[in-house]
Amino acid sequence: MSTKSIEGLRQVIRIAGQSTFLAVLWLGADFAARHLGLPVPGGVIGLAALLVLLFTGGVAPRWVKAGADWLLSDMLLFFVPAAVAVVQYGGLFKSDGWRLALVVVCGTLLVMVAVAFTVDQAARLERVLAMRRARASRLVSAA
């Protein structure tokens, strides 16, 4: 085998392993949500668990990056069932399509505003923390 094909095989194995880890995490969270009677979907619990693992260092970002990138690149495949539903319920879209479009547009705008607000607040917090660190380092160097 050539070096290029060995590296390609390693990449496929890495993506498969990381995707499997993400799927197992999701399945575990879904199982917990169902059996504990939690009102939160398993996917949300799994995402929270992954964030905790990433922030605490339990999982390094490089351990899930290739699998997550692959899943995100093929995300359109996950929406095929939604497209089939649109075709099946064509009458509903003919009669109430404008209402559905209004809800989608309003929801999208609300999400965009919420994300913009959150990013703005995070940037402000980061600036404040940077200024505090700069002051602290000046005080230490002056002493």
What type of residue is 57? G
Q: What is the pLDDT of residues 68-121, one digit of tens each?
A: 898 888 777 776 777 777 778 878 878 888 898 899 899 999 999 999 999 999
How large is the average pLDDT for residues 121-139?
Answer: 91
Sign of the CA dihedral with 61 first, then 67, 73, and 76 last: negative
pLDDT of residue 1: 66
Based on the number of CB atoms within 10 Å of its own CB, is 18 exposed (0-12), middle (13-18) or buried (19 or more)? Answer: buried
The more confidently predicted of residues 5 and 21 is 21
* Start-to-end C-alpha separation, the chain: 63
- Please write the tens of the pLDDT for every residue from 37-79: 989 888 899 999 999 999 998 989 999 999 989 888 877 777 6
pTM above 0.75, yes or no: no
